[in-house]
Amino acid sequence: MKLSMWMIANRLSSLLDMEIDIRWDAPAILNSARTVYSTNCVHVYQENDHVVCSGEGDRILFYNLSAKETFEIIQGVFDFYEDWEDKIAEAARNQDFQKILDQCWIVFQNPLILQDANYKVLAMSREPDIGDMDEEWNYLKTYGYSSLNSLRYMREEHLETNFTRYGHKTTSFKEGEPYRYGGISYNMQFNSIACGRMLVLEKKRKFNNGDFQLLERLAQYLEPILGASGGESRQQFNAFYALIFHKTYDEKELELQMKFQNWDRKDTYQLVLLQPWELHNQGFPEALHVLSAMISRQITEGVVITKRPYILLLVNRAVSEDPEFLNFLTGLSRNNPIVTAFSLPIAGLDSVSFLFRQAVKTIQLGLMQDTDERIFFFGNYGVNFILECNNDLDKIHACHPMILKLWKDKQERGDELYDTLKSYLDYERSLSRTAAHLYSHRNTILYRIHKCEDMLHSDLNDIQERYYIRLSMEIIERQNTVAGSTIPAGGYGGLE
């Protein structure tokens, strides 16, 4: 492995008493150490009270060492890099990216990150404590992808730098900004197509040209491996996309994908819609791809579909009621300029085509509110959706899911909860008047109302919630919906 004087100095600067006089662009052309001058070699000789190591016009001066000791040390540096390169080559052949970065820590003494062309983390240095790093490092460790905020920030702070071009680019940040460490971003290509990037953060040691030269050497081993693995990934068409957007699809293909997901047609389905609203409008074409790839990695239970300007996540359960999932979205929103909307949960795969319009409308209505919230739920906007909707089936599917269940139970089993709740709301939540109307005891009415509240997960003291419930009842009755006709036989989300 050919070295530059910078590479030699970087290996020894923290260990020995030395002084350097090296040009910034000193080339990596040195083959070994010599005690006599030889072309493209380091000449080691005594001069007054110090030892000189001269390499094609560049010099390192060592103190408190003999010429023999210095020669052995310099030759040892050549041997070290030769062995280091062999380990890098072996790890690259095995695609052991973490081993590569472990070896890189030895020579760079700074944190490194290796990513593919889609900003997916392939490996990160193990050494730095997360508490010593910035928020983006923590995000990378947690989610395995760059945050959209960081990518946008890099563009805004380095307007003259094109980070998608081949080779290395330097970054730096002002004190007090959210990203604590600048460094080197090295964009790799294979057959002129982007295949990955390396990031070295300037945390422990200042960079010099020796670091750039080493990154170029690393890229020679990594580019063929990353390029052969496909570079930019593509989203494959799936039957779920066709189902959601009313496209034709092969029923056998749908069944295969259902089996792969381990889903059942009668499961409860919910659609989560994400929109990187700022970046999409600012011409950030990779935003959707980066975010969808990260979500696919983190949420393995769902199907991720990209449809500009949205990312759709279809899951077979009511994730809007899952605290862990909501925490995940909250963390995502802190690091990415996105808005998120939940459709209603709905039972039966054949009804998922109604969910996309619910989620889109929820985002539109949510962004009209004077709020810092970036996660919106259809239940809070169901009234607006129904009132503005012209399609009867859309209206039915937008009704409160539990009201649909109560109606279905009334039709099939003669259950009295639906009529009790309706009368309770019509009589302005008066237990005595409701009891008189239904010829029931007050305590019976009270028991039924408590049971309804538990099923609804609703606060009947909330006027908006009451309006949504009562409007849902009106829609159902106006359409004369009975189980098996307008209402799908499978019922609605959370009903079983």
* Fold that domain 401-478 belongs to in CATH: Arc Repressor Mutant, subunit A (1.10.10)
Mean per-residue pLDDT, 402-423: 90
Q: What is the dihedral of CA 274, 144, 188, 225, to 10 degrees?
A: -120
Tens of pLDDT, residues 12-45: 998 899 999 999 999 999 999 999 999 999 999 9
Do the beta carbons of residue 18 and residue 60 sit within 8 Å?
yes
- Is the Cβ–Cβ distance between 149 and 127 less than 8 Å? no
Residue whose C-alpha is closest to residue 119's, from 138, 149, 95, 140:
140
Contact 275, 310 (CB under 8 A): yes
Per the model's pLDDT, the better-predicted residue between 362 and 241 turns out to be 362
Cβ-count burial 314-347 (b if 16+ within 10 Å, e if not): bbbbbbbeeeebeebbeebbebbbbbbbbbbbbb
The fold adopted by the segment(s) 95-228 is Beta-Lactamase (3.30.450)
**Would you list the DSSP string of 415-437?**
-SHHHHHHHHHHTTT-HHHHHHH
Comparing 216-220, 285-289, 414-418, which segment has the lowest mean pLDDT? Answer: 285-289
Query: 56 with 42: CB under 8 angstroms?
Result: no
Say what the pLDDT of residue 171 is: 82
β partners of residue 144: none
User: 187 - beta bridge partners?
Assistant: 167, 197
User: pLDDT at residue 146 above 80?
Assistant: yes
Q: Please give the pLDDT value at position 495.
A: 35
Average pLDDT over residues 138-153: 85
**Type of residue numbered 70:** T
| Mean pLDDT within 98-121 | 92
Q: Give pLDDT, residue 484.
A: 40
Domain boundaries, the chain: 5-89, 95-228, 239-392, 401-478
Banded pLDDT at 162 (limits 50, 70, 90): low
pLDDT recorded at residue 280: 44
Between residues 152 and 283, the one the model is more confident about? 152
Range name among 40-44, 226-230, 484-488 with the lowest pLDDT average:
484-488
Look at residue 369 and tell me whether its pLDDT is greater than 50: yes
Q: Which CATH superfamily, name and number, covers 239-392?
A: Nucleotide cyclase, GGDEF domain (3.30.70.1230)
The residues facing 196 across adjacent strands are 116, 188
Cα 157 to Cα 164, 169, 172, 180, 349: the distances in Å are 15, 13, 9, 13, 46
- 246 Rama sector, left if φ>0, alpha if ψ -120 to 50, beta otherwise: left
Q: Which residues of 15-25 are buried (b: 16+ CB within 10 A; e: fewer)?
A: eeebebebeee
Task: Please report which residue ranges of 368-400 form alpha helices under DSSP H.
Answer: 382-388, 392-398
Radius of gyration of the chain (CA): 32
Residue 161, pLDDT score: 67
Q: Return the higher-pLDDT residue of 56 and 119.
A: 56
pLDDT-derived band at 119, boundaries 50, 70, 90: confident
- Predicted model pTM: 0.65
Residue 151 has pLDDT above 70, yes or no: yes
Confidence of residue 490 (pLDDT cuts 50, 70, 90): very low
Q: Using one digit for the tens of pLDDT, what is the confidence trace for 176-213? A: 666 788 889 898 988 777 788 999 999 888 999 999 99
> What DSSP assignment string belongs to 436-462?
HHHT--HHHHHHHHHHHHHHHT--TT-
Contact 11/77 with Cβ under 8 angstroms? yes
Alpha carbon distance 303, 346 (integer Å): 16
Residue 197, SS3 per DSSP: strand
Q: What is the pLDDT of residues 83-100, one digit of tens each?
A: 999 999 999 999 999 999
**Ramachandran region of residue 218, left (φ > 0), alpha (ψ -120 to 50) or beta?**
alpha
pLDDT score of 481: 45
Q: Which of 102-106, 167-171, 199-203 has the lowest mean pLDDT?
A: 167-171
